[in-house]
Amino acid sequence: MAVTQRGEAAGRPAKGVRRVGASVGLSDEQLIEMYRMVALARAIDERMWVLNRAGRIPFVISGQGHEGAQVGITWALKKGHDWVAPFYRSIATAMTFGMTARDMMTAQYATANDPSSGGRQMPGHYGHAAHNLLSVSSPVATQILHAVGIALAAKIRKTGQVAMTFMGEGSSNQGDVHEGLNFAAIHKLPFVLVIENNGYAISVPSSKELALPDVAARASGYGIPGVVVDGADVLACYRASKEAVERARRGDGPSLIEAKVTRLTGHSSDDQQTKYRPAEELEAERSLDPLPKFREQLTAAGVLDEELIARIDAENKAVVDDATNFAESEPDPSPDNALEHVFAEGVEGTF
Amino acid sequence: MPTRTFIEAVREGLRDEMQRDEAVIVLGEDVGKKGGVFLATDGLYEEFGEDRVIDTPLTESQIIGTSIGAAVNGLRPVAEIQFADFIFPAFNQLLSEAARMRYRSNNTFGVPMTVRAPYGGGVHGALYHSQSVEAFFTHIPGLKVVIPSTPYDAKGLLRSSIRNDDPVLFFEHKKMYRSVRGDVPDGEFTVPIGRAQVTRQGTQVTVVAYGLMAHYALEAADRAADEDISVEVVDVRTLRPLDKETVLDSVRKTGKCLIVYEDNRFGGYGAEIAAIIAEEAFDYLDGPVTRIAGPDVPGVPYNHVLEDWFMVSPEKILDGIRTLAAY
């Protein structure tokens, strides 16, 4: 994808906001690329729903509302070096970490060349070995232990890698989270746990999931830092992540980042959230959408202008169109190969 | 050739592999300075240090889940679950994660991990230190399940398991740790995963067994010979993938098969062997495929009278052989 250069008409920056980018070490070009990624993840996500409602793909699980936190936090990692164990809403994380729009869309269509699983997993189970993005399952929070194990290997092998995992606040109640944080903290592993708190575990509000408002408060029980960030504030997310990643890479141990986000869609394409969320709440939470907030912030700072925004939107639409057409035309996997890859040697019974 | 106890063979196998490949680490409860509650890892902490011999908290899910991650990122973890009875908190990690990683990622990720766990009764371990858990795992595609019965096989199969690129569950019958001795050559050798072994030749009845029961089967076969019953014993060694041909070849020869397992009877591993024989060697059968197995109670009771009642013994196997031979 071509990098759009700032146009002549970009206008003058508002200094207060520009300092935010500078204070976390990000150039205007990087800010534009971050915005492009937030917008692209949203565009892909919206296309998934269109395709689902049109009967082209059977299922969608969405990341709408989470993209700002995912892009800001994932941005602080070294692509192709560090590791991510994602969860089912990690569309923007997976793309920030190297997966392409075509990669994402082939997962929706479960094509033979879908790099996440070759059409074996439901959409939302993104993974890509070439990008150190670990394959994920559906039982929630299991991936924290994999990320902790990856961090353990990084420490023992002295690779300098950091492992980061993501999950919702509902998942944070699983026992694996306690076991993982405890072990990571004991061994000061280069590990970061990111909680994307959207206030709901499918239909159950966080007041019935957590006795405290913040998951991050639990970090003190493991003797590690736990911070709460506004998940609609991309740069605040980036700053928190950068600190956690640097701390991990220094050998000072794990951190917990809790990003407060909003879930703009139902849990999945099989869920109707108006059944359990008040209309006023849904309306109010539109204001927590990270996409317009980031756009306004960067526009006020003179990093974006209308022309550039329009150009990015058009380019993203072209990318999504291309990915959709590509995935539409790719073949399904064949039952002839469905017995393969149970083991490294091939089909069981042939060795 | 030097002789070793079963536990010594396990320990040597671990040490040799850790010397051979620095990617091999050991983790589990009490595996460090204590050397494990059965001393399977005794001396490894001193030789390889705390980076490669890791005492974990009492968190079985973490032991397995962390091993999965470490395996994905270049290590070959050997996880010890202190007793097979305690593996169930990690069941989700084994079933949903380790077993499925390669398949669900279309062969782009794999989990080269070995999970060792002592299993089995007859040691006054009661309900929670005696269980045979293999059937839970042999049911799962994507896991290999190994149960050696001799020190030679223990060392050779452990090496193969550690070098394998997929998750292997390696169950060791704890009653054999110090009661079973055998020849174990010095130097490099391995025993391949997926090969059964005929441990006694015979003509009238095939007995299929593994672990401690492979010894009891040989003992029963010896005594049957005194009664002029010729018994062939097949030691399965690898439960999954199963070496079907060795089992079927033997049954086609003898026409009769007794399957022995210590686990409770209903839905146990031996049921699968019985089904395979029924499907693939029916025309050769000269009697019903039968099983000698543990009773269907939820665990091995503690009192020695009750434990003896539970445990499969050479006598019970001999009774089964007699009945089948007379059929």
B189, part of any domain? no
Rg (CA), chain A: 20
Would B232 be classed as within a structural domain?
Answer: yes
Tokens describing residue B86: 């305690």
d(CA B45, CA B36): 10
Instruction: Give the residue from B269, B241, B237, B218 showing the smallest Cα distance to B150.
Output: B237
Residue B246's identity, in one-letter code, is T
Three-state DSSP class for residue B4 = strand
> What is the ipTM metric for this complex?
0.97
Residues of B forming the active site? 129
Chain B residues 181-200 with CB within 8 Å of chain A:
194
**B134, B161, B183 - which closes a domain:** B183
Closest CA to A197 of A276, A116, A288, A280: A288
Tell if the CB–CB gap between B92 and A148 is shorter than 8 Å.
Answer: no
Give the structural domain span for B176: 3-183
Quote the CA–CA distance of A221 and B243 in Å, as a whole number.
50
**The pair of three-digit structure tokens given for residue A226, joined into one six-digit string:** 């736990």
Interface residue B163 vs chain A (CB under 8 A): no
CATH architecture of A8-266+273-326: 3-Layer(aba) Sandwich (3.40)
Same domain for B167 and B216, yes or no, is no
Residue A331 to residue B197: CA distance in whole angstroms: 45
Using a CB–CB cutoff of 8 Å, tell me whether B279 touches chain A: no
Helix, strand or coil for residue B290?
Answer: strand
Residue B164 within a domain: yes
Q: Which of A18, A66, A128, A267 is catalytic?
A: A267
| B contacts of A349 (beta carbons < 8 Å) | 241, 244
Between CA A1 and CA B117 the distance in angstroms is 51
Tokens 């994932």, residue located? A74
Closest C-alpha to B257, from B241, B235, B233, B222: B233
Peptide bond into B241 cis (omega under 30): yes
Contact between residue B293 and residue B270 where contact means Cβ atoms under 8 Å apart: yes
Name the phi and psi angles at B118, rounded to 5. Answer: -75, 135
Domain presence at residue B191: no
Query: Smallest Cα–Cα separation from A48: which of A81, A82, A92, A14?
Result: A92
Within an 8 Å CB–CB cutoff, is residue A16 touching chain B? no
Q: How many domains does chain B have?
A: 2
CA B56 to chain centre: 24
Which two three-digit tokens encode residue A338? 């469905």
Which of B183, B214, B243 is at the close of a domain? Answer: B183
Neighbours of B165 (CB within 10 A): 15
**pLDDT (tens digit per residue) in A134-171:** 999 999 999 999 999 999 999 999 999 999 999 999 99
Q: Is B74 left (phi over 0), alpha (psi -120 to 50) or beta?
A: left
Say if the Cβ atoms of B73 and A344 lie within 8 Å: no
User: Given an 8 Å threshold on Cβ–Cβ distance, is A151 in contact with B69?
Assistant: yes
Verify that B124 and B60 share a domain, yes or no: yes
Q: pLDDT tens for chain B, 327 residues: list them.
A: 899 999 999 999 999 999 999 999 999 999 999 999 999 999 999 999 999 999 999 999 999 999 999 999 999 999 999 999 999 999 999 999 999 999 999 999 999 999 999 999 999 999 999 999 999 999 999 999 999 999 999 999 999 999 999 999 999 999 999 999 999 999 999 999 999 999 999 999 999 999 999 999 999 999 999 999 999 999 999 999 999 999 999 999 999 999 999 999 999 999 999 999 999 999 999 999 999 999 999 999 999 999 999 999 999 999 999 999 999
Closest residue in chain B to residue A127, using alpha carbons only:
B105
Of B65, B108, B240, the CB nearest to A149: B65
Half-sphere exposure at residue B217, Cβ-oriented, CA atoms within 13 angstroms: 31
Residue A66 DSSP symbol? T
CA-based nearest residue to A197, from A232, A224, A242? A232
A190 touches chain B (CB under 8 A): no
- Supply the DSSP string of A171-216, one letter for each residue: GGGSHHHHHHHHHHHHTT-SEEEEEEE-SEETTEEGGGT-SSS-GG
Contact B69 A85 (CB under 8 A): yes
Bridge partner residues of A128 (DSSP): A133
One domain for residues B273 and B175 = no
Do the strands B144-146 and B168-173 form a parallel or antiparallel pair, or are they unpaired?
A: parallel
Q: Which of B138, B161, B183 is the last residue of a domain?
A: B183
Q: Domain check: are B7 and B126 in the same one? A: yes
**How many other CB atoms sit within 10 Å of the CB of residue A158?**
8
What sign does the CA torsion over A187, A191, A192, A195 have? negative
CA distance linking residue B105 with residue A132, whole number of Å: 13
* B146 and B203 part of one domain: no
- Select from B52, B106, B115, B246 the residue whose CB has the most chain A CBs within 10 Å, as the one to mutate to test that interface: B106
**Shared-domain flag, residues B20 and B113:** yes
Q: Is the CB of A208 inside 8 Å of chain B's CB atoms?
A: no
Residue A348's pLDDT is 64
Judge: B194–A351 Cβ closer than 8 Å, yes or no: yes
Residues of B in contact with A151 (CB under 8 A): 69
Residue B65 in contact with residue B151, Cβ under 8 Å?
no
CB of B68 within 8 Å of any CB in chain A? yes
pLDDT at residue A330, rounded to an integer: 98
The number of angstroms, rounded, from the C-alpha of B179 to the middle of its chain's C-alpha atoms is: 16
Interchain contact A347–B (C-beta under 8 A): no
The domain ranges of chain A are 8-266+273-326
* Three-state DSSP class for residue B205: strand
Q: Inter-chain contact B75–A137, Cβ cutoff 8 Å? A: no
- State the best of B21, B52, B63, B73 to mutate against chain A, taking most chain A CBs within 10 Å: B73
* Alpha carbon distance B215, A178 (integer Å): 43
The CA-atom distances, in angstroms, between A235 and each of A26, A135, A136, A293 are 9, 28, 27, 11
Q: Does B97 contact A at CB distance below 8 Å?
A: yes
Q: Which residue of B has its CA nearest to A126?
A: B105
Identify the pLDDT of residue A24: 87
- CATH number, domain at B257? 3.40.50.920
Mutate to test the interface with A, among B72, B163, B165, B238 (most CBs of A within 10 A): B72
CA-nearest residue of chain A to B194? A351
